[in-house]
Structure 1
């Protein structure tokens, strides 16, 4: 996995099967500025906070099961939470300070977390296999998940513009009737 930060200059975070998370300054791409080695399984998920400069979250595979938070400005590990299952995807809401994660073995669910307390806002079930894919709508309110059970599910999770309003690109946003509303 690899993700660019919202910051200028941009940072690139990348992780993989070596259990390491690297942070690279786009101005000096040859040498990582940080190499985090605390994950005990593959780094499966990465997201940057759109709310706090230099804040990075990463999720580990089956033997790790943790979401870890990093201050990439200082190189300090901030926090970790054991989710109880493989973290397949992670995304930070740009509309509120909450995170959505998808999970594989053994829970096969979607969880919404409030940051920084990491209290669960919602646990969404319905997939019967690992939830491998996660995408967010242009307005940031709806996520779509795809799983090994060959299903796609739409979830209206985060606050956003009302149905029928236009996004910044001029396209219509997803109507509320496309999926489950959790709030």
Structure 2
């Protein structure tokens, strides 16, 4: 391998000369200065006090002559190649579920909500008239209760200690997780099945053809009724701040309600962008005024809106029915579940709304989704009567490691 060469101009001979680039140009070197530092300076190297002669010599003779060797230009140091950078391992997005559990008799109904994951990593799933609890830490399954009518909605309180169960007979029951006992019944406020439930600390919101807010700190009582939809409601979600409630109905409307508003029948905003039933609603965990919503089979679009300005920030047509949507904990990804095409999961980048990947899901439409407490694990349930657990499908919230899953049937 030949060495690189550089060209320099020799001013003494008025001609261009070629030198090896790795050898300094001797004509540009200060040999007198080099000789002094090699020979004379040794006499004073052990002295801690600089002599007057040496100090005067430096001031008069060697003023400005500090370089023994001279290059045409200083070498370029590539600092980037020397710096240490932490390398994050790339997340492996699954192409198959980690575990598949039986979920027989689960309702094939778009307008109900039968799956919810608590902050203590307990997954509640309603199979017809029975509610089961699946513990992520040890893979155990327990039966909470069997009811006298079909279960149409389940929702955990924020502390994971209470489970609200909505029934087809227009009743809501509150259950204690530790004792597995019923401690409250909320009756006489709805005249149709309770299709969706949402918690906001001590406030419990239930939806039939109207929204009823309960104060659960003592004896539960209804303190606010909200009516803004022309049909039955199928979606209900509180914002992370707890100040706004989003509702979606089979009329295609999405309403935003302010908790502090005096008029119970007056919404803050009402949108009619969707062509189908607006069931899937999800607030951004990072920016609490961003709401993602979908409109079912007739609509096939994911829409992200700023509820403070009412501006539509993103909209994408997925080409198939959308049943549920989840937002990653870091707010950078969206996960949607589908039917009527390949019954798959779709992972989206936000805010570009470009598709990251398709994930094969169920053999029939994926009706329900729930997200674990760390945000990375997702449970899906479909009309094929299977419950599937997907690990690392979304970015994790913390470094907490979850326990391995056990392969266990809910019931057969």
TM range (shorter): 0.7 to 0.9
Give the alignment's Cα RMSD to 1 decimal: 1.8
Structure 2 Cα separation of the partners of residues 16 and 150 of structure 1: 25
Structure 2 Cα separation of the partners of residues 7 and 36 of structure 1: 21
For the pair shown, which has the larger CA radius of gyration, 1 or 2? 2
Unaligned runs of 5+ in 2: 1-234, 408-412
Provide TM-score, normalisation by structure 1.
0.85
Structure 1 counterpart of 2:282: 47
Q: Does 1:36 align with 2:279?
A: no
Counterpart pick for 1:70 among 299, 305, 313: 305
Structure 1 residue 105, shift from structure 2 partner: 1.5
Unaligned runs of 5+ in 1: 166-172, 179-183
Structure 1 counterpart of 2:404: 175
More helix by share: 2
| Contact 2:379 2:389 survives alignment (8 Å) | yes
Structure 1 counterpart of 2:317: 82
Give the 5 Å matches for 1:1-183: 1-8=235-242, 10-28=243-261, 29-156=264-391, 157-160=393-396, 161=398, 165=401, 173-175=402-404
Deviation readout 1:94-148 (Å, 9 max, x if unpaired) = 1451111101112311111110011112211131101001011111110011111
Relative CO higher for 1 or 2, CA cutoff 8 Å, sep ≥ 6?
2
- DSSP 3-state at the match of 1:63: helix
Structure 1 Cα separation of the partners of residues 340 and 380 of structure 2: 16
Structure 2 Cα separation of the partners of residues 84 and 63 of structure 1: 10
Structure 1 residue 176, shift from structure 2 partner: 7.6
| Contact 2:329 2:395 survives alignment (8 Å) | no
Aligned positions, number: 169
